[in-house]
Structure 1
Amino acid sequence: MTTTATRPGPRGSATPQAVLEEVFGYPSFRGDQQAIIDHVVAGGDALVLMPTGGGKSLCYQIPALVRGGVGVVISPLIALMKDQVDALEAVGVRAAFLNSTQGPDERREVERALAAGEVDLLYMAPERVTVPSTGELLDRLRVSLFAIDEAHCVSQWGHDFRPDYLALSMLHERWPSVPRIALTATATAATAAEITQRLQLEQARTFVSSFDRPNIQYRIEPKNQPVQQLLQLIRTEHPGDAGIVYCLSRASVEKTAAALVEHGIPALPYHAGLHARTRADHQSRFLREEGVVMVATIAFGMGIDKPDVRFVAHLDLPKSVEGYYQETGRAGRDGLPSTAWLAYGLQDVVQQRQMIDRSEGNAAYKRRMGQLLDAMLALCETVECRRVQLLAYFGQQSQPCGNCDTCLAPPESFDGTVPAQKLLSTIVRLERERRQRYGAGQLIDILLGKRTPRVEQLGHADLATFGIGTELSEQEWRGVVRQLLAQGLLAVHGDGYGTLVITAGSAEVLSGRREVRLRREVARPTRASKRSAPSDLPATASPLFERLRSWRAATARELGAPAYIVFGDATLRGIALTEPRTLDELGQISGVGAKKLDQFGEAVLAIVRGEEAPTGAGSAPARAAVSAAPTFHESPAAGFPVDDIPVDDVPPDDEYFPPPPDDRY
């Protein structure tokens, strides 16, 4: 926590607009921001549903500064609190955190600063808020508000459920006069209702922003050779860009990261099986270095505030639309063009069905998980605009976007009734005549008339359906199986081996009473790459943009901070386009607040003039800020257990079930 190098915050003496301009450097509010902030400043409770990158943080940061006292922010991952605090200190806000990465002396220093009124925003994990000593500390302070970030964690039907969030209803009971603001980027109507009930926000005003992220291009394609497909994406569209790659299992994370490194792409693995120090180091490198690709399980990402992630790729099928939206939303937080890419195959569907069947949940839980998966499959298999279907899942209407794969290259729909009948008939004959069940690989071999050793051994060449499916290729048959599973006309048996069985709806297809529409895959267009510069930046401005990026990288290294804390890409873009010549002109650019203007203004103007700018921080005020920062804040300790609060709060990976050895998918 820095208290000597930053100017005091407004502490109740400024308007929200003044704080927005002077502290954060933005000229105007976006969407519902002003209405939310005014409501909370006036003392009202709020539930805010706003997409990632929509500016949720300002909705509690500005009210905390305007109301005075200390705003308490409840954040789910302690590993990110340092970066959140660093970002606030960079614009002159007095911020601190209390968590188990700190030693006793560090915690006492934070508590002293709190008592002296030297902290505007305090970050804590939900586990710490409910500790008795924390309550006693807060009782002695003037608390301006409670902000509950990632509020969907309170919902047992949502994703990223955190049991400790359930105890946060005590905030209203113990401090009834302190306004609360709960925020999430991902919530259906049911999840929002559960948040309201569990956090006792029945009297709160609900603000629902559009979940649309028009700068993100959504693309889903059949999985063939996923690592090669990923390499193609990175090389052709995102060379040198920061990105996140999500995999289902730890083994897949390690394998994929190694493959990327082997092909010259700086990639790091991240999963709950790694040592805590290794995870922290990899997360720090991803945030601070440019162009790093993080390959991770879903244990990574919640709360990540890196605005220049240019792509998020999934090599395995997400469990739900909520999870998919949350994860893809980590791309393009700065509003610049970004890609959400998913490779999806038949094996993914079988694995997810197996995971549900093998889970320890009751029938209601398994039914709910099945519904979530069905919605995700519907998104993958749609022939309509993906954005329209994605937003409809969250109860919002929209028009075709023109920026997803199904809009850019509409898939062809065809009558797939006959292929469906052939496949379903093969399953029925095997079960009724042989009392046998098989996975997709064996069924497709039968339909294609392949006399494999296994087909010969089992006598499957004698079946009436042997060789009747040669009009489709093996890959096309896999698409048929995948789509029938998505439509509920085929199911994975609960025997744990990935075998396929018919459903109640299959009879209508076999009798000809129901038509089956299937999609035929087409070649997907790729967006032309322009490395890290925004795609709409004029060629004349690109050289200045690159010089600014080089200076920013050197400055960030000297400060020991992520590059985006100096300036984001969007701000550098604004500088490159307008070429400001004075500090006043530079101060008009979005993202240049008073403190950053003071720290970096002269160095930036020198670069614009084409002069040799000072290396690193480039100004006496910036260097002074670095030297004044307490050394303990630069490198969190490995972990000191405090009040029995777990040091490692990274959620565990989902259990992974490999495919059975005796069949192919």
Structure 2
Amino acid sequence: MTKQEILKKYFGYSTFRKGQEELIDSIMQRKDTVGVMPTGAGKSICYQVPAVMLEGITLVISPLISLMKDQVGALNQAGIRAAYLNSSLTSGQFRKALQLAREGTYKIVYVAPERLESEDFLDFALHINVSMLCIDEAHCISQWGQDFRPSYLKIVHFIEKLPQKPVISAFTATATKTVREDMVRILKLQEYTLLVTGFDRSNLYFAVKKPKNKFGFVEKYVEDNWEKSGVIYCATRKNVEEVCYRLQAVGLPVTKYHAGLSDEERKLNQEDFIYDRKPIMVATNAFGMGIDKSNVRYVLHYNMPKNIESYYQEAGRAGRDGEAAECILLYGGQDVITNQFFIENNRDNGELDSETLELVKQQDRQRLKKMTFYCNTNGCLREYILNYFGEVSSNYCGNCSNCMTEFEEADVTEIAEIIVGCIKECGRSYGMNTIAQTLHGSSADIVKRYNLNENSCYGSLKNVSITHIRQVMNYLVLENVLYLSDNEYTVVKWNHEKVLRKPVIMKIATEKEQEDRRVKRKLQPEETEYDFQLFEFLRELRLEISKEAGAPPYIIFNDKTLKNLARSLPETKEQMLEVPGVGEVKFRRYGQRFLALIAEYKRR
């Protein structure tokens, strides 16, 4: 079969998305291939299509059990035989899977990096035809990546042990230029294709909020969007437990996920979320990598993540079907302190020597600064993210909270001069809040303890709110007039190499937000209105089938496919196969039931 025939038969699509065909062609030319594509852009198809076409077995290195299970379930539903090898299998199940793989039952086998050095697996790999080795979430191989996993370094040693070098492919959604170069170097790629399709997810709305009562904001938001599926990320297990308990107390269908739960409870809660029994998930960042649930309509961050890469990856779990979704980050000063603690007490990279570990920590501190800047910029949030990954963009997207907020320019020259003067006069460095309290004339213990009430600038800004003083300080940090230290505790310092340009003009948000400056995504020809009532009936049928098949609803058909069915109202097999997402295998299994439902609905 050709790549187009495979795409249509197994995945139900007639055309490839941006970059997919180029990456597939590179692999089929037996060239090592690196693809950087945003979440939801179809990375998996880039290695799954050639895996079907190549003669031998494709091994996919994957970091998480949930990711493997989701991918293998989707492949088997599509009609492509696949299996996974990880710690969730008993020894008997593991041996059976290896035996079936040796016999050629599977075209694609997912494996955890830790398994690469086991005797059983190595013996298996040495006696089969490994046509391609694919590394998913490939940024994990770089110590400059946000999810560095030393176990990923075993991949290189594994490749060197194979009797014949397979095609190497590597895919990720979040990799800066430094990380991309590191991936190529570590994997020792020679003649290779590297394709970055872009990082923009135009269907996602980004917002940063600074509510005084974070839970109050979350409760109202979730109640206002009760019919939607969403994820609420928290920095700590304690926050997960508290937020989940309080949402359950008001009767919302919510569950939780963190590393402190038993394996059984995590599995049950994850399935409740995936099968929409409890469509709201409160979780730490331990949840979500590789979860392909396509109908997540919002991702709320109760706490600020420690870097842009993690934030964009987690936020990107919303709107994987291409439909509109919201990503809202709730920022508070304590979030910075929490992340600093995590960085300084890093226990994830115990295999590193002390010098390398310190380099990783320095990199993490720098990324935390840039994440903090994101939460304080008045510029376009989408532009900030895209620029971070090296992509040039417009300074107005029309689909983020800053682009939808009215700002007015204010001359803050005098305030800025006083702030810089105060910091210069201090004999040592202090945190932002301490400096703000000093300038405001606070009688707080910390101000008296360090004799900051004797600073000549003490109380100079008593008529300016501490919040506004901090806003100006954040602006001066963004302008590099001030900078935050890399110490264990963040302190603010004056950059003596930078001259304070005058006047200092700063954009300040007004109380009133424009009602709707959001630029509506241009509808594609196939995205006209659909019959909402029929869509709901189709969802009910999909849920019924998913229970029978033991597969998540979105693996049967995603919401976008159901909307297209409710829009085009197919009557025949040929018409239904024209609907994106309906492949021949899935039609053979479920198609007639959907056609029958549509026909009955039309007769009413």
Superposition map of 1:201-280 within 5 A: 201-236=189-224, 238-280=225-267
Please report how far the alpha carbon of residue 72 of structure 1 lies from its aligned counterpart in structure 2 after TM superposition.
1.1
Instruction: Tell me the residue number matched to 2:39.
Output: 52
1:465-487 residue CA offsets vs partner (Å, 9 max, x unmatched):
45442443343334334444555
Structure-2 separation of matches of 1:105 and 1:349:
47
Q: Is the 8 A contact 1:17 1:28 kept in 2?
A: yes
Structure-1 separation of matches of 2:223 and 2:106:
45
In structure 2, relative to structure 1, the CA distance for the partners of 1:128 and 1:527 (3 Å cut) is farther
Superposition map of 1:337-348 within 5 A: 337-348=324-335
**Is the aligned partner of 1:480 residue 2:472?**
yes
In structure 2, relative to structure 1, the CA distance for the partners of 1:279 and 1:586 (3 Å cut) is same
In structure 2, relative to structure 1, the CA distance for the partners of 1:20 and 1:492 (3 Å cut) is closer
1:154-187 residue CA offsets vs partner (Å, 9 max, x unmatched):
0001111111111211354224442111111111
**Is the aligned partner of 1:145 residue 2:141?**
no
In structure 2, relative to structure 1, the CA distance for the partners of 1:188 and 1:493 (3 Å cut) is closer
Please report how far the alpha carbon of residue 422 of structure 1 lies from its aligned counterpart in structure 2 after TM superposition.
3.3
SS in 2 for 1:407: coil
1:593-648 residue CA offsets vs partner (Å, 9 max, x unmatched):
112111221221222224599xxxxxxxxxxxxxxxxxxxxxxxxxxxxxxxxxxx
Instruction: Tell me the residue number matched to 2:564.
Output: 574
1:325-379 residue CA offsets vs partner (Å, 9 max, x unmatched):
2121211111111111112233333444565567677664444233322332333
Please report how far the alpha carbon of residue 298 of structure 1 lies from its aligned counterpart in structure 2 after TM superposition.
1.8
In structure 2, relative to structure 1, the CA distance for the partners of 1:162 and 1:525 (3 Å cut) is farther
In structure 2, relative to structure 1, the CA distance for the partners of 1:79 and 1:467 (3 Å cut) is same
Instruction: Tell me the residue number matched to 1:311.
Output: 298
Q: Is the 8 A contact 1:490 1:506 kept in 2?
A: no
Q: Is the 8 A contact 1:350 1:492 kept in 2?
A: no
**Is the aligned partner of 1:504 residue 2:515?**
no
Instruction: Tell me the residue number matched to 1:35.
Output: 22
SS in 2 for 1:166: helix
1:274-295 residue CA offsets vs partner (Å, 9 max, x unmatched):
2222222222222222562222
Structure of greater relative contact order (alpha carbons < 8 Å, 6+ residues apart):
1
Comparing 486-495 and 552-561, the one that deviates more: 486-495
Structure-2 separation of matches of 1:355 and 1:91:
41
**Is the aligned partner of 1:300 residue 2:290?**
no
SS in 1 for 2:300: strand
Instruction: Tell me the residue number matched to 1:3.
Output: none
Q: Is the 8 A contact 2:405 2:509 kept in 1?
A: no
What's the C-alpha RMSD, in Å, of the aligned pairs?
3.2
**Is the aligned partner of 1:406 residue 2:396?**
no
Comparing 371-380 and 243-252, the one that deviates more: 371-380
Q: Is the 8 A contact 2:403 2:517 kept in 1?
A: no
Q: TM-score, normalised by structure 2?
A: 0.88
**Is the aligned partner of 1:321 residue 2:308?**
yes
Structure-1 separation of matches of 2:530 and 2:21:
36
SS in 1 for 2:378: coil
**Is the aligned partner of 1:373 residue 2:368?**
yes
Please report how far the alpha carbon of residue 55 of structure 1 lies from its aligned counterpart in structure 2 after TM superposition.
0.6
**Is the aligned partner of 1:592 residue 2:588?**
no
1:533-589 residue CA offsets vs partner (Å, 9 max, x unmatched):
x99976661111111112212222232221101110110111111111112111110
Structure-1 separation of matches of 2:362 and 2:94:
46
AA of the residue aligned to 1:301 = G
1:103-154 residue CA offsets vs partner (Å, 9 max, x unmatched):
2332232223223221111111111123232121122223231111000000
In structure 2, relative to structure 1, the CA distance for the partners of 1:89 and 1:518 (3 Å cut) is same
Structure-1 separation of matches of 2:203 and 2:277:
21
Q: Is the 8 A contact 2:369 2:484 kept in 1?
A: no
Structure-2 separation of matches of 1:164 and 1:266:
37
Comparing 133-142 and 444-453, the one that deviates more: 444-453
Q: Is the 8 A contact 2:83 2:108 kept in 1?
A: yes
In structure 2, relative to structure 1, the CA distance for the partners of 1:374 and 1:505 (3 Å cut) is farther
Structure-1 separation of matches of 2:107 and 2:170:
19
Structure-2 separation of matches of 1:104 and 1:418:
71
SS in 2 for 1:128: helix
Q: Is the 8 A contact 2:410 2:505 kept in 1?
A: yes
Instruction: Tell me the residue number matched to 2:101.
Output: 114
Alignment partner for residue 281 of structure 1, among 268, 286, 293? 268
Q: Is the 8 A contact 2:302 2:329 kept in 1?
A: yes
In structure 2, relative to structure 1, the CA distance for the partners of 1:507 and 1:128 (3 Å cut) is closer
Instruction: Tell me the residue number matched to 2:553.
Output: 563
Structure-1 separation of matches of 2:291 and 2:169:
20
In structure 2, relative to structure 1, the CA distance for the partners of 1:426 and 1:488 (3 Å cut) is same
1:86-115 residue CA offsets vs partner (Å, 9 max, x unmatched):
111111111111222212332232223223
Instruction: Tell me the residue number matched to 1:390.
Output: 385
Q: TM-score, normalised by structure 1?
A: 0.80
Instruction: Tell me the residue number matched to 1:622.
Output: none
Structure-1 separation of matches of 2:103 and 2:449:
82
In structure 2, relative to structure 1, the CA distance for the partners of 1:411 and 1:136 (3 Å cut) is farther
Alignment partner for residue 152 of structure 2, among 165, 174, 183? 165
In structure 2, relative to structure 1, the CA distance for the partners of 1:455 and 1:181 (3 Å cut) is closer
Structure-2 separation of matches of 1:526 and 1:241:
22
User: Structure 2 stretches of 5 or more lacking a match?
Assistant: 347-353
Instruction: Tell me the residue number matched to 2:350.
Output: none
In structure 2, relative to structure 1, the CA distance for the partners of 1:185 and 1:527 (3 Å cut) is farther
Alignment partner for residue 26 of structure 1, among 7, 13, 16? 13
Q: Is the 8 A contact 2:296 2:320 kept in 1?
A: yes
Structure-1 separation of matches of 2:341 and 2:449:
27
Alignment partner for residue 187 of structure 1, among 175, 187, 202? 175
AA of the residue aligned to 1:275 = S
Q: Is the 8 A contact 1:388 1:398 kept in 2?
A: yes
1:66-93 residue CA offsets vs partner (Å, 9 max, x unmatched):
1133211111112332222111111111
In structure 2, relative to structure 1, the CA distance for the partners of 1:151 and 1:253 (3 Å cut) is same
Q: Is the 8 A contact 1:301 1:330 kept in 2?
A: yes
AA of the residue aligned to 2:559 = D
Comparing 420-429 and 118-127, the one that deviates more: 420-429
AA of the residue aligned to 2:207 = R
Instruction: Indicate the percent of aligned positions where both proteins have the same amino acid.
Output: 35
AA of the residue aligned to 1:145 = M
In structure 2, relative to structure 1, the CA distance for the partners of 1:452 and 1:391 (3 Å cut) is closer
Structure-2 separation of matches of 1:497 and 1:395:
29
Instruction: Tell me the residue number matched to 1:657.
Output: none
In structure 2, relative to structure 1, the CA distance for the partners of 1:524 and 1:373 (3 Å cut) is farther
SS in 2 for 1:312: strand
**Is the aligned partner of 1:546 residue 2:536?**
yes
**Is the aligned partner of 1:200 residue 2:188?**
yes
